[in-house]
Structure 1
Amino acid sequence: MRKFLAGLFIMLCFLVYVNLQGEAQKPDYEKFGRIAITVVQADFPGAPIKDYEYLGRKKIDTTKVEDGFRFKVQENNQNFFVIVKVSHDATNNKVLNITVENQKQ
């Protein structure tokens, strides 16, 4: 019985450790996603964001990269997409440029 309880305790500790490790690792684009959300909310105040998609990262040159985000926004009962591109320095994560494009459906 002791071996069973000790094994169960070890398994529980392992599962807690794995879960904590998974939560600690956040995607590297998360910071820029928050910036993109803030930009869309500022450009369309009061309009709800219905959907959000990370479009990926594009390398511009040796140190610059661009993360793309697509938002589905509803304004005046019409849905449309907003593409936000955040270019930043990959070495220090400083934002260099933010581009916003509206795409009507």
Structure 2
Amino acid sequence: MKKYLSILMMICILAGGGSLAGAAQKPDYEKYGRIAIAVVKEDYPGEEVVDYQYGGRKKVTETDVTDTFTFTVKENGKPVTVLVMVTHNLKDNKAVSLTVQRKQQ
């Protein structure tokens, strides 16, 4: 009985550890999100970034994709929506271009 209980406990520990390892992986767009945040903070110095969302990925060419990030910045107390689009190469993980757009409210 103890042998079966020990085996069951070991399976539970291993199964739980595997899901933790998967949860700890960083998303592949994280590097470009950090770049986008830095650009927004540079463009809006001293203003508060109150919201940040990853908008998704679009395939541009066979090797290039564009990740979109949406920020809400409080500029002079009013919310401003800023889109940052980072186009990068999937093979070498280098940024190809970066576009910042302020959306009209």
**Normalising by structure 2, what TM-score?**
0.86
Provide structure 1 residue ranges, at least 5 long, that are not aligned to the other structure: none
Number of positions where the alignment pairs a residue of Structure 1 with one of Structure 2: 104
1:5 CA drift (Å) = 4.4
1:6 CA drift (Å) = 4.2
| 1:39/1:12 CA distance change after superposition, 3 Å | same
Mapping for residues 65-80 of structure 1, pairs under 5 Å: 65-80=65-80
| 1:18/1:34 CA distance change after superposition, 3 Å | same
1:21 equivalenced with 2:4 (yes/no):
no
Q: Counterparts of 1:91 and 1:34 in 2: how far apart (Å)?
A: 19
- Runs of 4+ in structure 1 deviating by more than 4 angstroms, as ranges, are none
SS across alignment from 1:58: strand
Q: Percent identity?
A: 40
Deviation readout 1:3-59 (Å, 9 max, x if unpaired)? 3344224312321232123213x2211111111011101111121111111111112
